[in-house]
Structure 1
Amino acid sequence: MKNALNEENLIKKIIKEINKKVTTPIYIMEVCGTHTECIVKYGIKSLISDKVNLISGPGCPVCVSDESFIDEAIFLSKIEDIIICTFGDLMKVRGSKHTLQEAKSKGADIRIIYSPQSCINIAKENKDKKVVFLSVGFETTSPIIASVIKTTKANNINNLFFLTSLKIMEPILKKILGQSESKINGLILPGHVAVIQGSKYFSFIPDEFNMPNAICGFSELDILSGIYTIIQQINKSIPIDTYNLYKRWVKKSGNVKAKELMNEVYTLEDVTWRDIGLVPSSALVINNNFKSMDARKVFNIEHMIFKESEKSVIENKKCICGKIMMGYKSPKECELFSTRCNYENPVGPCMVSREGVCRIAYKGGVI
């Protein structure tokens, strides 16, 4: 009880300091979708000065998976004796023409799972079929998937394959910070990614871009502390540096074993981020030591081109998910938001995923 009261008093003190020290409009991007969720959950925007503009970044892995990834998955789902395993968030994400949900309604064997390890059991239980896991995520989930890939090879499970859309944070942050249109004054960095990569990973932000930032956790106190630390840097009360406010989980060098696992299984390649464009060296793809489990190679779909329908082109041009994830626009600036595009009938991926800023805005009504 005493600790709760102390935390509540500290929160009030930080809010007071934030509101006192912000005299001109500033823009702070929370990179991680979970931070966006928590900002809405705790009503943080209503607690602090309206001069502090919190904008959402590209930290939703489902949202930045390109249309072609969904098209590849749907193509594979039509092959006889293939089982597609996926996280539920991907089911409503539209490719160039269709969604996985539509493919399932037409008879494709598409199964929602909650853990990558489940794929191993499904493959063992269906030895007469080929199982393809749609592997989506950033550094947080990439080591887990790498572990499953290694286990698959070690146990000679020959009917389990991986279609990947795995990405890392550094290249996209460099792209955002390097844009002349960027109005960002500071970054709330993703705590979960920092657990894996370590606080040192983000040193390029102050070193190359002189950008205020803070790594923080997901409690109300964590996020408000992150905002306050960034404001202190903007006001030059403290030097611009990478401030790790999540030390209970984030170490300077991160999770060394997890990083070694990623290096063992993946290699870096250029990849297109949905509605953002090509981002060099940002994709974690399965390397040649594990190529027998790479669905693109096994099913020879690496160089296939999937055609867009005229309707999807017109509609997707109106969707501004890319501009929202780059911090240029807010969901309410999209003409489709809450009318043509809503949670029941999403047009863009930002309305589909639990971590998608448009879905969070639609459900919370405060962004």
Structure 2
Amino acid sequence: MKNNDILINLIRRIKAIETDETSIMEVCGTHTQSISKYGLRELLYPKIKLISGPGCPVCVTSEGYIDSCIELLNNSDVIITTFGDLMKVKGRKDNLLQQRSEGKDVRVVYSPLDALSIAEENKRKQIVFLAIGFETTAPLIAATVKAAISKKIDNFSILSALKVMKPVIRRILDNGSDKIHGLICPGHVAVIRGAEHFKFITEEYKVPAVVCGFDELSILSGIYFLLKQQNEEKKHFKNFYRTCVTDEGNKNASSLMEEVFSYGDMQWRGIGKIAGSGLYLKRKFISLDASKKFNMHQSEIEGRRCVCSDIILGKKLPYDCSYFAKSCTPENAVGPCMVSSEGACSVYYKYGRWKYYG
């Protein structure tokens, strides 16, 4: 049977299942992209409502973090290095792109190792790498920290906004598990952490959950698995992504992350502080902690210009925002969900799926 035939058959089976309206959250930004790219959201609507979760690291980077980065640029000896998506994310007033246009030294890198090379080439400058992301990027950043120590590079440091997924998923389920009827787990994080890391969703919250890949067949298979359980009392968890995700994950990557980082409270943009959701350098690596090196303090007070916080919590969809596709576009983003390529607003805007829900 050809793939198209399999897909058509699977869609028919999904539509044949008799259930009430079912809300399924995809946590990972890459899943959000794929779902819109393949048109699955409107294909399954209104029976299945696919909602996006907080799986875009740029979208959940706090305003206070951006403001502290901008303040750091007042030091002429500092070069900030960052992933490109973070450049357009606003603090309370400004963003790094604007700072660079005004002559501040802000450089886009593709890897933290690139930032380390900049430090080696600029001995008289202090190089700060803006460490954002989830468990997928944390191991490489951990390796970079260890490399800096090994090479005795003392003009390099990181400012951590690294986060882990389990606490924020708990926050969402604690506040509205009755409104989420199934959950597609973050696939990239599962590669590192392992499928077992997400079993708590079903075991503790009685919400069916699945780990699946990013092509249309994998996602539809996951949705079918979740939908079939809506009329069953017992809920189940399953890993459909066994080509990349084992039960225990990547032990070497996890071990490296645990060696370098400890867990602490972290501010999530629009959500607030979540206990144990942040990764911070352990004491033995504290010399590479920019917040300590420069005596930095981050504000926890945030403005509210749009509904991005409700979008990343699955309470609203992008078209519920009055700014969406009007004053807020990828070229002139009001909120962070329109900045990143994995942000829900950016994805909806790119693929035009919002037109089907107006």
Shorter-chain TM-score: which interval?
over 0.9
Q: TM-score, normalising length from structure 2?
A: 0.95
Q: Residue type of the partner of 2:146?
A: K
Whether 1:105 and 2:101 are equivalent positions in the alignment is: yes
Corresponding residue for 1:251?
246
**Cα deviation 1:113-167 (Å, max 9, x = unaligned):** 1122111211111111111100110011111111111111111111111011100
Q: 1:149 aligns with which of 142, 145, 148?
A: 145
Q: Is the 8 A contact 2:267 2:300 kept in 1?
A: no
Q: What is the alpha-carbon distance in structure 1 between the residues aligned to residue 319 and residue 42 of structure 2?
A: 17
Q: 2:277 aligns with which of 279, 282, 290?
A: 282
Q: Residue type of the partner of 2:117?
A: N
CA RMSD of the aligned region, Å?
1.6
Q: 1:63 aligns with which of 59, 65, 70?
A: 59
In the TM superposition, residue 181 of structure 1 has moved relative to its aligned partner by 7.9
Q: TM-score, normalising length from structure 1?
A: 0.93
Q: Provide closer, same or farther for how the CA distance between residues 188 and 22 of structure 1 changes in structure 2, counting only shifts above 3 A.
A: farther
In the TM superposition, residue 22 of structure 1 has moved relative to its aligned partner by 4.1
Whether 1:353 and 2:340 are equivalent positions in the alignment is: yes
**Cα deviation 1:227-281 (Å, max 9, x = unaligned):** 01111222329x5222000000100011111111111100111111100111110
Whether 1:366 and 2:353 are equivalent positions in the alignment is: yes
Q: Residue type of the partner of 2:214?
A: F
Q: 1:198 aligns with which of 180, 188, 194?
A: 194
Q: Is the 8 A contact 2:177 2:207 kept in 1?
A: no
Q: What is the alpha-carbon distance in structure 2 between the residues aligned to residue 165 and residue 225 of structure 1?
A: 34
Q: What is the alpha-carbon distance in structure 1 between the residues aligned to residue 348 and residue 239 of structure 2?
A: 28
Q: Is the 8 A contact 1:136 1:165 kept in 2?
A: yes
Q: What is the alpha-carbon distance in structure 2 between the residues aligned to residue 209 and residue 74 of structure 1?
A: 41
Corresponding residue for 1:183?
179
Q: Residue type of the partner of 1:242?
A: F
Higher mean alpha-carbon deviation, 17-26 vs 82-91, is at: 17-26
- Counterparts of 1:1-367 in structure 2, within 5 Å, are 6-180=2-176, 183-236=179-232, 239-301=234-296, 303=297, 305=299, 313=303, 316=304, 318-367=305-354
Q: What is the alpha-carbon distance in structure 1 between the residues aligned to residue 87 and residue 146 of structure 2?
A: 26
Q: Residue type of the partner of 1:136?
A: I
In the TM superposition, residue 49 of structure 1 has moved relative to its aligned partner by 4.7
Structure 1 unaligned spans of 5+: none
| DSSP 3-state at the match of 2:54 | strand
In the TM superposition, residue 48 of structure 1 has moved relative to its aligned partner by 2.7
Q: What is the alpha-carbon distance in structure 1 between the residues aligned to residue 256 and residue 298 of structure 2?
A: 30
**Cα deviation 1:268-312 (Å, max 9, x = unaligned):** 1111110011111000111111000000000111x354887xxxx
Higher mean alpha-carbon deviation, 336-345 vs 223-232, is at: 336-345
Q: Provide closer, same or farther for how the CA distance between residues 101 and 265 of structure 1 changes in structure 2, counting only shifts above 3 A.
A: same
Q: Residue type of the partner of 1:365?
A: G
In the TM superposition, residue 7 of structure 1 has moved relative to its aligned partner by 2.2
Q: Provide closer, same or farther for how the CA distance between residues 72 and 22 of structure 1 changes in structure 2, counting only shifts above 3 A.
A: farther
Q: Residue type of the partner of 1:29?
A: M
Q: Is the 8 A contact 1:19 1:49 kept in 2?
A: no
